[in-house]
Amino acid sequence: MRPIAPFFLIILIALLGIRCSFDRPLHADVYDWIKLEVGGAELEAQIALTRKEQAEGLMHRASLEPNQGMLFVFSKAGQQQFWMKNTSIPLDVGFFNAEGKLVEVHPLYPNDRTPVRSRSDKIVMALEMRQGWFANHGIRTGATLDRDLLEQAFKLRGMNTKHFSWYTPPED
């Protein structure tokens, strides 16, 4: 009679390995929180890539944790605008250029449908955070998004950065 314990041990290890591989999604979606950093301040953001995701933004939410927000990634550089239709949480929007540098920050007020436009026409990303977040963390224009974390976020969202002409991967 052959001992079957080693056989079951191998099966158990294999199953645990499969289980662990499913704990982290291969591709995150817009509702997953992804770690980012700007100006040394850590945050979690949902990444909005598609027009539908960006149109929905942070609408219809009752609350937002202090270090949570949404990063909007645009397919090309341009002047961007935001409004607060169906958004009851006071927010700030930070506009970023292709180098991941914060160019400007503007307050956004609950349910205000007045468009808030960037002054710059070189905006490729916008980060919405709770109002006061940038100031409370000492983040001023010139602060940058951490490129390594940004690259990981793009990969988690399944984003092919080759389609974004403005995007330059970090140097090795």
| Residue 76 to residue 133: CA distance in whole angstroms | 26
By DSSP bridging, strand 41-48 and strand 68-78 are parallel
Structure-token pair, residue 83:
């409004």
**What percent of the chain stands above pLDDT 70?**
81
Torsion angle defined by CA atoms of residues 158, 58, 50 and 113, in that order, rounded to the nearest 10 degrees: -160
Flag whether pLDDT at 82 surpasses 70: yes
Q: Is CATH 3.40.109.10 the right assignment for the domain spanning 27-163?
A: no
Flag whether pLDDT at 129 surpasses 50: yes
The residue-averaged pLDDT of 100-128 equals 97
Confidence grade of residue 13 (pLDDT, cut at 50, 70, 90): very low
Query: Rg of the chain's alpha carbons, rounded to an integer?
Result: 20
Confidence grade of residue 12 (pLDDT, cut at 50, 70, 90): very low
Express each pLDDT in 16-57 by its tens digit: 443 333 334 446 778 899 999 999 999 999 999 889 999 999
* pLDDT score, position 21: 34
> Between the CA of residue 98 and those of 52, 81, 85, 95, 155, what are the distances in Å?
22, 17, 27, 10, 17
Query: Is this structure's pTM higher than 0.85?
Result: no
| Residue 58 to residue 90: CA distance in whole angstroms | 11
The residue-averaged pLDDT of 83-111 equals 97
Confidence grade of residue 81 (pLDDT, cut at 50, 70, 90): very high
Decide: 69 and 129 in contact? Cβ < 8 Å.
Answer: yes
Domain boundaries, the chain: 27-163
| Residue 55 to residue 58: CA distance in whole angstroms | 9
* pLDDT score, position 133: 98
